[in-house]
Amino acid sequence: MDDKQLLRKRIRGARAERVATRTAAEARAHAASFTEQLTRLTQGLGAQRVACFVSHRGEPDTADYITWALDHGVEIMLPRSLADNTLEWALHERGALAPGPFGIPEPTGPALPSGATATADLLLIPAAAVDEGGWRLGWGRGFYDRELAALGDTQAPASDAQRGRPRPTVFAVVWEAEVVGAVPREAHDAPVDGVVTEERVRHFG
Ligand SMILES: Nc1nc2c(c(=O)[nH]1)N(C=O)[C@@H](CNc1ccc(C(=O)N[C@@H](CCC(=O)O)C(=O)O)cc1)CN2
Ligand SMILES: Nc1ncnc2c1ncn2[C@@H]1O[C@H](COP(=O)(O)OP(=O)(O)OP(=O)(O)O)[C@@H](O)[C@H]1O
């Protein structure tokens, strides 16, 4: 196993342990903490359109945040995993979710045109770990590294959809224990602008 696989394994184990040992009240408190931090970030940025994810298996719980967003007129885009390890996106409508290829709930609505995340104000993305420099370790298929590479940078719009818009702000959502000193890094890894945990929102320089 390489360094990335070892760190993923450790984090997968810690998440499973948390799910197995916490009480229902603790799970509700964890969910409420993530909702509070995610809501604070969204309001702070004034984000009107957010690309998010539907949590599964020990991930930070985004369900109440997604409900809050719809209740407050914030559009939510959700991903569907494609066989070539890229994501397509659909606007979320309340209740319109069905399990995808990995058992993760996915939106059932029509796919948005490619490059859709460039039209979001904020991307909230899953991760296994994030380090103090903003480098992110994902779950090993490169879905989000490809997504962030397609977003490009502020200098050159990566797509027609992005032209004339600022690059969306990108935050990873992880447990506080998953913010580490340094994650193993490769050339294709894309950094994030910040990280949201159950305790706080950090913006990286
Ligand atoms: N809630 C949620 N939705 C998400 C993601 C996520 O991390 N969380 N994704 C984030 O990418 C995408 C799905 N990505 C996945 C990435 C890896 C594996 C997986 O089975 N990984 C293996 C190890 C790697 C491999 O098999 O090549 C494993 O964990 O055992 C599954 C889904 C899109 N939607
Ligand atoms: N921009 C990219 N274009 C093409 N292939 C890529 C790109 N980014 C990553 N990959 C490939 O995806 C695979 C997984 O990469 P890596 O282990 O860094 O994923 P990860 O960061 O854990 O996952 P994710 O990006 O989904 O969070 C590798 O084979 C890598 O070469």
The predicted-structure confidence for 16-72, as pLDDT tens digits, reads as follows 999 999 999 999 999 999 999 999 999 999 999 999 999 999 999 999 999 999 999
> What is the reported pTM?
0.94
The pairing of beta strand 136-137 with beta strand 49-51? unpaired
pLDDT at 164 over 70: no
pLDDT tens-digit readout, 33-43: 999 999 999 99
Position 46 scores a pLDDT of 98
pLDDT at 166 (0 to 100): 81
**Pairwise CA distance, residues 178 & 137, whole Å:** 10
- The CA radius of gyration of the chain, in Å to the nearest whole number, is 16
pLDDT over threshold 50, residue 139: yes
Mean pLDDT of 88-108: 96
Mean pLDDT of 150-174: 75
57 in contact with ligand 2, CB cutoff 6 A: no
Ligand 1 lined by 62 (C-beta under 6 Å): no
ipTM of the complex: 0.93
Could you give the percent of the chain with pLDDT greater than 70?
94
Kindly report the three-state secondary structure assignment for every residue of 39-108: HHHHHHHCCCEEECCCCCCCCCCCHHHHHHHHHCCCEEEEEEECCCCCEEEEECCCCCEEECCCCCEEEC
State the pLDDT at residue 90. Answer: 98
54 lines ligand 1 (CB under 6 A): yes
- Say how far residue 42 (Cα) sits from the centre of its chain: 13
pLDDT over threshold 50, residue 140: yes
Q: Phi-psi region for residue 46, left (φ > 0), alpha (ψ -120 to 50) or beta?
A: left
Using the predicted structure, report yes or no on whether residue 1 has a pLDDT greater than 90: no
Q: From the CB of 8, is ligand 2 less than 6 Å away?
A: no
To the question of whether residue 122 is assigned a binding role by annotation, the answer is: no
Per-residue pLDDT, 155: 46
Q: Would you say 7 is a known binding-site residue?
A: yes
139 Cα: distance to centroid of ligand 1 (angstroms): 5
CA of 59 to the centre of ligand 1 (A): 11
Q: 188 CB less than 6 Å from ligand 2? A: yes
Residue 102 carries which side chain, given as an amino acid letter?
F
Q: How far is the CA of 70 from the centre of ligand 2 (A)?
A: 31
Its CATH architecture, for the domain 3-203, is: 3-Layer(aba) Sandwich (3.40)
Q: Is the CB of 146 under 6 A from ligand 2?
A: yes
Instruction: Quote the ligand 1 centre to 141 CA distance (angstroms).
Output: 7
